[in-house]
Structure 1
């Protein structure tokens, strides 16, 4: 294994993690809500009275953040080493897993683990194991 030291970004990675944690804590402290992105965005499509505005603002912030960041620095280059069909299938599988697990990595992996939720611990172990297994199978068996 080799580390690409010129691409190693501990300061920006730490800052990003702190911002994600801060946003999750502010949402929990301010509204008593979990910062599970899947649930937040899904709530935009089945709005409950008085519940739509904060969801829209949170989602807008996620979209606006990289656009604002781009004004001050260059965004990392994105390279896809696969075709669109594989991306489509992967996206569908992630979506199905999110529904089956009643949440996503932000809800279970960030907020749920911080709250020591047994359900979130099981969900996080399940999706991390699935990810590890998928990478192993795709990279080493195919």
Structure 2
């Protein structure tokens, strides 16, 4: 699978089949995307290869344990990384050339959902992280 940013400066390839695809309704996703939710999908970190535009990537720490990468030219949100899943990286699914190839299987941070955004699916909904989130620190 391949994908990239809106302006075409950044292009990437996924070397393995994405997994763990879902909707995130957290306020950070809302604010960094300008949308009520973001669909992300996951691959092992080494299986995301930037084929062009690596120098245009910018990064921002959005929490004490996570950061996001975006195109410095057009602003497209591309990746989400969290420290407790250091060997994996999330890619924003809509940046794939064929985003229909990865279907969401759940909603997280549903408690933060924008009130007028009521999904019409029957996917599992979690108010925060999913209980089976890999690597999640126990509180």
TM-score by length of 2: 0.27
Higher relative contact order (CA 8 A, sep 6+): 2
The structure number with the bigger radius of gyration is 1
TM-score by length of 1: 0.26
Q: As a proportion of its length, which structure holds more helix?
A: 1
